[in-house]
């Protein structure tokens, strides 16, 4: 790995089991009962187009993938693709049996956007045209207070370290939420995935 970037870029890691323990019981029970819903819009004002997201230029291939992976989809007349999937919010770790808060409910919610960006996107594309959004699995929207609360619990269990030349980081991707802070300058990190785990979508 080359020298660290000009500034920023610290890695951030959070323990999903600890996050689950500190979330309010009523909130956890709600999402265990209904799961969580991810909504994506491809080819909207911003975001990833469906050709890049699905690595194909064939709508039939997109539809096949969606059917095989329990993803609902609709095409708009202008070629915009909207997808909807419902997934469990809490998983059991296959190695330890621990219950883990494993989802992107807060990270991909509209309330995590810069307010000016969110306002512009809602104006341009409507509330259903945001590039991404999350809801409770029963279809009910999330308010800012709920999203802020989840992020506060993540923050309480997050450790953050700068990258140094030669660092190697091994992450349990099921148990550990991971992110990075913004950075300046060049930043190149090699990533490899190993020991995949297949988990039920129910």
pLDDT one-digit tens code per residue, 167-201: 888 889 899 998 888 878 777 888 888 877 766 65
Give tens-digit pLDDT for 129-150: 899 999 999 999 999 999 999 9
Could you tell me the fold of the domain covering 7-184?
Answer: Double-stranded beta-helix (3.60.130)
Question: What integer pLDDT is reported at residue 11 of this predicted model?
Answer: 86
Split at pLDDT 50, 70, 90, the class of 43 is confident
Query: How confident is the model over 50-108, as pLDDT tens digits?
Result: 999 999 999 999 999 999 999 999 999 999 999 999 999 999 999 899 999 999 999 99
Domain ranges in the chain?
7-184
- Cα(30)–Cα(24) distance, rounded to whole angstroms? 10
The sign one gets for the Cα dihedral 105, 110, 113, 115 is: negative
Note the pLDDT of residue 129: 86
- Its sign, for the CA torsion 190, 182, 2, 165, is negative
């Amino acid at each position: 790995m080359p020298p660290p970037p000009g500034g920023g870029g610290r890695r951030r890691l959070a323990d999903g089991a600890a996050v689950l323990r500190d979330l309010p019981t009523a909130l956890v029970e709600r999402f265990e009962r209904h799961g969580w819903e991810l909504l994506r819009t491809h080819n909207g004002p911003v975001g990833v187009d469906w050709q890049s997201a699905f690595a194909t230029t064939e709508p039939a291939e997109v539809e096949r993938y969606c059917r095989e992976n329990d993803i609902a989809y609709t095409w708009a007349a202008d070629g915009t693709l909207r997808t909807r999937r419902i997934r469990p919010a809490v998983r059991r770790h296959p190695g330890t049996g621990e219950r883990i808060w494993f989802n992107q409910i807060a990270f991909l919610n509209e309330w995590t956007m810069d307010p000016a960006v969110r306002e512009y996107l809602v104006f341009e594309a409507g509330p259903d045209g945001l590039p991404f959004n999350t809801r409770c699995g029963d279809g009910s929207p999330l308010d800012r207070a709920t999203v802020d609360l989840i992020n506060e619990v993540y923050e309480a269990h997050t450790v953050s370290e700068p990258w140094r030349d030669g660092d190697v980081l091994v992450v349990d991707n099921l148990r550990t939420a991971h992110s990075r802070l913004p950075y300046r300058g060049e930043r190149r990190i090699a990533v490899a995935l190993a020991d995949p785990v297949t988990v039920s979508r129910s």
